Structure 1
Amino acid sequence: MARGTRSRGFVGLVVVAAVTSALVGCTEEAAPEPTLPPPSIASRPLPTTLPDPIPFAVAPLRGTLVAPASASGPSLAAKIDDHEEARPQLALNRTDLVYEELVEGGLTRYAAVWQSDVPEQVGPVRSIRPMDPDILTPLGGIVAYSGGQERFVEMMQATPLVNLVFDYDDTGLFERADDRPSPHDVILAASVAVERNSELAPPARQFRYGGVDPLADPRFAATPTSRIDLVYSPARFPSWEWDAASGSWLRSQEGAPDADSSGERVRAANVVTLRVAIDWTYGEVPKTELAGSSGEAWVSAGGRTAHGTWSKADQSAPIVLTADGGGELELSPGNTWIQLVPTTGSATFVP
């Protein structure tokens, strides 16, 4: 019995040894797992100073973001001719504001204002009218015109604005263009005029600006508008069409597309239409009544029109636009045309 037990034990030892040997052999043949070095991270020192932020400011007469220098200069207003022989006018699409007013003979004339983007030249420049002091006094800055009746010139010179008058100028700011008929040929060196008066303060904001579609707010009860038809007189009936592709109103004059000297269609981000009374104190020269007055108003922006009222406390106060439901009407950032339509005319807003 002892012998048999030893035999079985011996066999077991042999089997265990064989299995152990096989396992050792397999372990020796397996490829070892590679040991990778830790990733190398390049040492980059942190900057000791951060780059200066890009400066910007808000253009007071446009509500758009511009370089600080473009917002800090004075405004330049000029009386711009709208006679057929004065067209196309220079740089109308670079204006911040344009006021269209009734003058004698049923014609209209512009009080055009540049501040955020002053061109090299503007024109044709024409004479002053009795409502211009009321329109332009809130802006301060500079006003340029060719002359006018002595009493109207004195009214303008009584304002705080710097007056640049072609009839009195001996500094070379004005010239007559050879390619335009007189008297529709007076051109102003606009950028030089502003440079010479750079110490003047920038204008105060005239209107309240919202987003690109400011009248979408339900409180304004704005209605979709595709076209604006305005009648100043049988001789002057401008219109505006909404162009969604460019996000602007495109202007026509007496049924024909209106362009400035660049060849581009005259356009505006906003069209503000005010119904105004006319004072005939000055005979055949109409005076738009603004200071101390109020009336019906429409603001057209973003393809919509909101109704409200306008008011102007006095000559130095800006025009305030109030919605029918209360609160100040908002404009879209960009240039604005203010249509001073007489109550004898009309304003139609087509859906």
Structure 2
Amino acid sequence: MMKKWIAVTAALMILLAGCSSKETKTDKDAAKQHKEKEVEDVVKEAEKLPYQFPLTGIGTKEEPAGRAIAVVVNNHPKARPQSGLNEADLIYEVLAEGEVTRLVAIYQSEHPEKVGPIRSAREYFIDLALGYDSFFVAHGYSPEAKEMLDRGDIDNINGIQYDGTLFKRASFRKAPHNSYITYENMIKGAEKRNYDMNAAPDSAVFLSKEEFDELEGAEAKDIMVSYGTPAFDLIYEYDAEIGKYHRFSGNEESADLDSKEPVLIDNLLVVQMDHKIVDSAGRRDVDLESGGTGYLFQKGKVNEIQWKNEAGRIIPYKDGEKAGFVPGKTWINIVPSISDVSFDSEQ
């Protein structure tokens, strides 16, 4: 795959060299100044806004309100492309049984029309959602997850109880890859259960403008994350024009089913956690507590980090200090081994 990237990059360089011969230095300087002016205008506009959303750090005119909602999203190839992932503030990707990953998508700043397909809960999905005091949405559960839900460890609704009412089955996909829920029905479900949905989660740590301008790290524009099978292996490609990463899964770019808008990522955090098979069905225990190593990718650069679990959240540290996030969307890949991650670090 790295050879493919190198070949593609070489071809692009030749093409761009041919095009650049037709451009004058003045044209290039003018284009650069225009781009810099656009970025400067965006920064100035953001600085005028008195508040920021707690999970993205994006500026907003009004003080953010509204509880975070964590939704378990199916990531099987038969469930792709999904709905609503491009509007999540934060997404965890982690193995379930076998080499299949599932997603825990957390929403607060945006309210997607619908999300899905929805899939069943695992106990470590619930633990991740608890870190944001989330209202938890899933369709089904493992025995251990059911015990947690029955005990009331987290406010939740589940498609097992609301299949065909709050949760709807799409006709163009087959079960278990066809359960969807609208944002409106999530709120209705919370109201049915008398849950308080007003309080916003605590804010994550975000880089200031000065820290953003001085962001350091080795170059990392092309990243691979392996989960052991091609259908779930990932490629992230940095788009310097917009300063974000594109995500590719199974050789297809991740995008919304209906709008076709791509999933764009500002912070890619990849962390190693110990995984252990715990039953004959292949269910896993994932150690969310002990801390460990990882990589934080931002703006085409990478830093090695140590992660800690703080109040249920996976927090990156660099040189003993919290590593702030770039304002925007965050994706966190949890892997069994840091050797499952590779990237192009050529300068």
Q: TM-score range by the shorter chain?
A: 0.7 to 0.9
The answer as to whether partners of 1:75 and 1:203 remain within 8 angstroms in 2 is yes
Paired with 1:111 and 1:170, the residues of 2 have a C-alpha distance of 20
Is 1:154 aligned with 2:147? yes
1:198 Cα deviation from its structure 2 partner? 5.5
| Residue equivalent to 2:119 | 126
Is 1:91 aligned with 2:84? yes
The answer as to whether partners of 1:214 and 1:302 remain within 8 angstroms in 2 is no
Look up the SS of the partner of 1:136 in the other structure: helix
User: Counterpart of 2:169 in structure 1: which amino acid?
Assistant: R
Distance 1:114 1:85, change over 3 A: same
1:68 Cα deviation from its structure 2 partner? 2.8
Look up the SS of the partner of 2:303 in the other structure: strand
| Residue equivalent to 1:299 | 296
Look up the SS of the partner of 1:331 in the other structure: coil
1:133 Cα deviation from its structure 2 partner? 2.2
Distance 1:212 1:90, change over 3 A: farther
| Residue equivalent to 2:341 | 347
The answer as to whether partners of 1:225 and 1:350 remain within 8 angstroms in 2 is yes
Distance 1:225 1:99, change over 3 A: same
Distance 1:109 1:268, change over 3 A: same
Which of 283, 286, 310 does residue 284 from structure 2 map onto?
286
Is 1:139 aligned with 2:132? yes
| Residue equivalent to 1:61 | 55
Superposition pairs for residues 62-81 of structure 1, below 5 Å?
Answer: 62-68=56-62, 71-81=64-74
Which of 238, 244, 248 does residue 248 from structure 1 map onto?
244
Paired with 1:264 and 1:301, the residues of 2 have a C-alpha distance of 21
Paired with 1:213 and 1:280, the residues of 2 have a C-alpha distance of 45
User: Counterpart of 1:124 in structure 2: which amino acid?
Assistant: P
Aligned residues, how many?
290
1:321 Cα deviation from its structure 2 partner? 1.2
| Residue equivalent to 2:199 | 201
Q: Which has the greater radius of gyration? A: 1
Q: Cα deviation per residue 1:314-350 (whole Å; 9 max; x = unaligned)?
A: xx43222110x22111111001000101127611121
Deviating more after overlay: 145-154 vs 331-340: 145-154
| Residue equivalent to 1:229 | 224
Paired with 1:246 and 1:259, the residues of 2 have a C-alpha distance of 16
Aligned residues with identical type, % of pairs: 26
Distance 1:345 1:89, change over 3 A: farther
Is 1:334 aligned with 2:328? yes
Distance 1:326 1:55, change over 3 A: closer
Stretches of structure 2 that go unaligned for 5 or more consecutive residues are 1-47
The answer as to whether partners of 1:214 and 1:331 remain within 8 angstroms in 2 is no
| Residue equivalent to 1:40 | none
TM-score, with length taken from structure 1 = 0.76
Look up the SS of the partner of 1:90 in the other structure: coil
| Residue equivalent to 1:257 | 253
Look up the SS of the partner of 1:88 in the other structure: coil
| Residue equivalent to 2:179 | 186
1:161 Cα deviation from its structure 2 partner? 2.7
Root-mean-square deviation (CA), in Å?
A: 2.3
Q: Cα deviation per residue 1:220-256 (whole Å; 9 max; x = unaligned)?
A: x511211111011124211100001121100011333
Look up the SS of the partner of 2:291 in the other structure: strand
| Residue equivalent to 1:37 | none
Stretches of structure 1 that go unaligned for 5 or more consecutive residues are 1-53
The answer as to whether partners of 1:127 and 1:147 remain within 8 angstroms in 2 is yes
